[in-house]
Amino acid sequence: MFKRILIVVGAGPTSRTAVSEGVALAQVHDAEALFFSVLPRYIVPVADMPMIGMPSPEEYQRDVTRNAERFLAAATVVADKAGVRSKYAVGAGFDDAECIVEAARKRRCDVIVVASAGRNAVMRLLSGSVIPGLITLSTLPVLVVRQAPAGAKVKRLAAVPSQPKPPRRKAVAAVRERQRRAA
């Protein structure tokens, strides 16, 4: 059903939930996982005091890109261990939700997986969560996975297909064998 799954990755512990559930979903559907991280914007504080110790916009951009790539590389390791094909990308924009939706559209993703800390809707709006914006803007399905409390047993959301798919090499060999017999 799904061929490419965009998984939103960030610095927080909820991101690990999105990665594990997104990779499990990709594994079940034999889909490619695209890990995506939105880079934070450089905000200049407005104050009468001089900015001492503030990095330049270039330094800030380099640091946040390096950090994002570190998280994304860790996510690809999880996908590799599960046998899931994966890529990663970073993006930046004025609105994080819009940036994620645009990335999913450009890369022809079938679903967006994002994690929630489990707060109610009002707290998500106040804390600046990207989830309400994703749900509003996206024409794709958005799978919101909830971070499990510490020590809780996690149930997988991904369903096992009724017919297991044969490994690709065997499927290709079977098709070639049928073609050879037909000729």
**Residue 183, helix vs strand vs coil:** coil
Instruction: Judge contact between 18 and 111, C-beta under 8 A.
Output: no
Angle at 156 between CA 141 and CA 152, to 5 degrees: 120
In the chain, the domains with their CATH numbers are: 4-182 (3.40.50.620)
28: pLDDT strictly greater than 50? yes
- At residue 162 the predicted structure's pLDDT band, cuts being 50, 70 and 90, is very low
More confident residue, 89 or 172: 89
CA–CA dist 97, 83 (Å, integer)? 29
Question: Is 57 a residue whose pLDDT tops 80?
Answer: no
Query: What pTM was estimated for this model as a whole?
Result: 0.71
Q: Are 116 and 21 in contact (CB under 8 A)?
A: no
Beta bridge partners of 88: 35
